[in-house]
Amino acid sequence: MHGFTDTPQEYPPLRPAEARRDDFKEIYQEYANSVAEIQANRCSQCGIPFCQVHCPLENNIPDWLRLLAEDRLEEAYAVSSATNTFPEICGRICPQDKLCEGNCVVNKDFNAITIGAIEKHITDTAWEKGWVKPFPPKKELKQSVGIIGAGPAGLAAAEQLRRRGYQVHVYDRHDRAGGLMMYGIPNFKLDKAIVTRRNEQFSQSGIKFHLGCEVGRDIQLDALRAKHDAVLVATGVYHARELNIPGVGMEGITPALPYLIAHNKRGLGDAPNQADWDVEGQHVVVIGGGDTAMDCVRTSIRAKAKSVTCLYRRDRENMPGSMREVARAEEEGVQFRWLAAPKALDGNGNITRVMAKQMRLGPADASGRRAPEPVADGDFDLPADRVILALGFEPEDVALPGVERHSTGRIRIAKDFSTSLPDVFAAGDIVRGASLVVWAIRDGRDAALAMDRYLQLQAREVAA
């Protein structure tokens, strides 16, 4: 329990920036199992594990670290997967520096335990060894559930409900399941084969996917309610927040998500419109400071842009995205302009420059963060052939008659995830607002438990 005092922190080998900026392969190599065991042995097994407290899924992190340190890898996987539908995905894309590792009790003086990398190692090894199998339920139930949205919240709920024996049908407008895990997150963070193998496991377990099926266009909510005993809405938030400055209607200005989707479709062998993804030889400016902005700048580097600049109105310390992502982007050649905001976009029908203004941090706003304000005589210009807007996401206007929403467009739910329609539940970003994949997984799993209670009550009432 004192391994952290004499064993230094060690992450898996990181591919050189010069190599990784030329392709979309994942940037970290794999731990050797012996190294992973040594790193797991750094865990102090503290009495109050802040790593677990600050994990949205409340993963039993010290337990599976100890099991790995004792070379009990299959048991480690069983513990890890008991609370997490996608441990291999969270190990890759969670901002551990802001969650579990950022709150590790040995972090201050000895550097945190490498929780995310070990979680990934455990689950990847489980797949290689054949420990991850389909999960047909012990008893099939007649009741069925319809899930709208095949993203992390919808799939997490689907897995939990299928394990309990329900007939689970998942509806999604895309041609592949996975939501933003499939189409929004670049391959260099999450290879799509990782998502595909989970989808295949779910199909083999009896979950039925209805892809290319958009609710409100191909099927209506009333029809789903008539077909299923309960429905879960887990559509996420895909509508890009707008930038209200002069010039936003010109060619060459792209919302972040269509840009990322186009690149992911190319990686999957599809043929998206070239104008949606091709930035080769262009000056690219990304406006925003979250993880989506980091995905865009790092994608643009790999797409052979001439220059890539991230424009963010606050400073580095107040950036909402992961600091690891920022560091990796800087290594790959991205330029950051901190405390800078656009005031206009200029060009003759096609964008040619971003007219920006220097900012400073003033008094705190309603959220408690210091509000940016312009600096006098701080104007400057940036050349731009493509501007990518990564300002966050809002709910789309999905046709869900009878389902009450907040003024923001998010679905209003009760504590048990039920909506204004008693047999319709909702979870994930469509309720919470744009957030992390790990929170969507948590919401999906919790919603599944609530739906199970509802369905059991309905079954008892019918039997009576």
Question: What does the pLDDT look like over 248-263, one tens digit per residue?
Answer: 989 999 999 999 999 9
Which helix or strand (DSSP H or E) is residue 307 part of?
A: strand 307-311
Are 87 and 123 in contact by the 8 Å Cβ rule? The answer is yes
Which helix or strand (DSSP H or E) is residue 109 part of?
A: helix 107-110
Q: What number is the average pLDDT over the span 10-19?
A: 95
Q: What is the band of 365 on the pLDDT scale with cuts at 50, 70, 90?
A: confident
**In whole numbers, what is the pLDDT of the chain averaged over residues?**
95
The residues, ordered by sequence, that sit 6+ positions from 377 with a Cβ below 8 Å of its Cβ are: none
Task: Please report the pLDDT score of residue 82 as a whole number.
Answer: 97
Domains of the chain: 3-129 (1.10.1060.10), 144-237+395-463 (3.50.50.60), 241-389 (3.50.50.60)
Query: What is the bridge-based pairing of β-strands 208-211 and 283-287?
Result: unpaired
pLDDT at 1 over 80: no
Q: What is the band of 463 on the pLDDT scale with cuts at 50, 70, 90?
A: confident
Q: What number is the average pLDDT over the span 260-280?
A: 94
- pLDDT tens track for 96-133: 999 999 999 999 899 999 999 999 999 999 999 999 99
- pLDDT tens track for 377-436: 999 999 999 999 999 999 988 889 999 999 999 999 999 999 999 999 999 999 999 999
pLDDT-wise least confident of 110-119, 204-213, 366-375: 366-375
The residues, ordered by sequence, that sit 6+ positions from 215 with a Cβ below 8 Å of its Cβ are: 148, 171, 173, 221, 224, 235, 398, 399, 400
More confident residue, 319 or 455: 455
- Mutual angle of helices 115-129 and 61-69, in 10-degree steps: 60
